[in-house]
Amino acid sequence: MQTRVCIIGGGPSGLLLSQLLHLNGIDNVLLEKHSRAHVLARIRAGVIEHGFAQLMQEAQCGERMQREGQVHHGFYIAHDGRLDRVDLHKYSGGGSVIVYGQTELTRDLYEARDRLGGVVIHEAEDVQLHDLTGDRPYVTFRQGGQAQRVDCDFVIGADGFHGVSRKAIPAGVLREYEKIYPFGWLGILSRTPPVSPELIYVKHERGFALCSLRSPTLSRYYIQVPATDKVENWSDEAFWEELKRRLPAEVAARLVTGPSIEKSIALARSYVAEPMQYGRLFLAGDAAHIVPPTGARGLNTAASDIYYLSRALIAYYKQGDARGLETYSEKALARVWKAQRFSWWMTRLLHRFPEHSPYEEKLQAAELAYLFSSERALASLAENYVGLPY
């Protein structure tokens, strides 16, 4: 088959780009390794910054998010037995975020592709990229035991950290930057009312915790655990008990517990691949960069990649202007590294690091005290949390 753009990866990044290109008359084919049901079963972050929300509206698939998503004008940081609120609206000049689960966002994107008759091929196995530095790259794969080929102008690698796209960039070209943290987040999803209408980030001597939500009846909670820990080591009861230990007494007293409907551990890591372009291959989202979930930047940084990439491709096909494609990696990475800095800062501020000396623990406490004593520090936090401009 032949198309202009072949997109690898059926997560939010790939689906959003596919939709935006289609709306601008640019043919594309999307290949996804797993089934649609598998993609929609993934439980991921749900804090959407303003720019991402606007991009969903532009893609004609943001109506349900605007209707059902919860607009948050602030969040709390719990420390030393107290709650301090970060007023996003005040300190970012009127900004806010939308809490809306990634699963629901992905469902909206799939339904939008269905409405337009978009070409989304699931269970595409053994995907391989060819002739990326030539004028006519192509992608081969197998589906149902049958060999298939997609000829195209450009290949977009939105297939995540473990995907094949980044691996197609030669080792002599690719530069990788990585930091592995000695902990992860054990998270559970439960059909219980949230303990707070706004997120609560918790700094505690036993480790970090987060009280989040998906809806008025669906809660998402996390606790910091060692990177070597296993999900099977934690019963629901043990999780709830540990979470309560880390919460301020007033919050723990109103926590409603219940059976988990999903439980998993997400390891904390920072990663950036440079460049995000090789010949006619362009990387986007987790294929090129990963952040710890602390600052809610992962999905939002992927969205900014799609913003730059969609504009570049539209300009190329509509005006014959290749400058956006030529500068894509530079533009995307400039924002990626700012998101890396913010996520690293939030992670360092709120987590317990087993290797920290008493001196470093004192510095961490001083950093938090400074944050709530300085309006400029709060403004910096709020500006980054609601999303830097594209």
Asked if residue 256 has pLDDT above 90, the reply is yes
Q: Closest Cα to residue 289, out of 225, 326, 343, 345? A: 343
Share the mean pLDDT of the chain.
Answer: 96
Asked if residue 42 has pLDDT above 80, the reply is no
Q: What is the pLDDT of residue 46?
A: 83
Cα distances from 106 to residues 113, 264, 299, in angstroms, run: 11, 20, 11
CA dihedral 346, 347, 350, 353 (to 10 degrees): -150
Residue 200 near residue 246 (C-beta atoms within 8 A): no
Residue 262 near residue 192 (C-beta atoms within 8 A): no
Count the alpha carbons within 13 Å of 326 in the hemisphere toward its beta carbon: 5
Query: Tokens 């089934």 appear where?
Result: 35
Please state the rounded mean pLDDT for residues 171-178. Answer: 97
Q: pLDDT-based confidence at 384, cuts 50/70/90?
A: very high
Cα distances from 122 to residues 6, 36, 127, 154, 159, in angstroms, run: 14, 7, 12, 20, 13
pTM given for the model = 0.94
Q: Closest Cα to residue 47, out of 389, 390, 384? A: 384
Q: What is the pLDDT of residue 45?
A: 67
User: What domains sit in the chain, N to C, each tagged with a CATH number?
Assistant: 5-70+100-178+269-349 (3.50.50.60), 183-268+353-386 (3.30.9.10)
Asked if residue 156 has pLDDT above 90, the reply is yes
Q: What is the pLDDT of residue 214?
A: 86
Asked if residue 149 has pLDDT above 90, the reply is yes
**Number of continuous H segments (helices) and E segments (strands) in the chain:** 13, 20
Phi and psi, residue 329, nearest 5°: -60, -45
- Supply the DSSP string of 312-369, one letter for each residue: HHHHHHHH---HHHHTHHHHHHHHHHHHHHHHHHHHHHHS--TT--HHHHHHHHHHHH
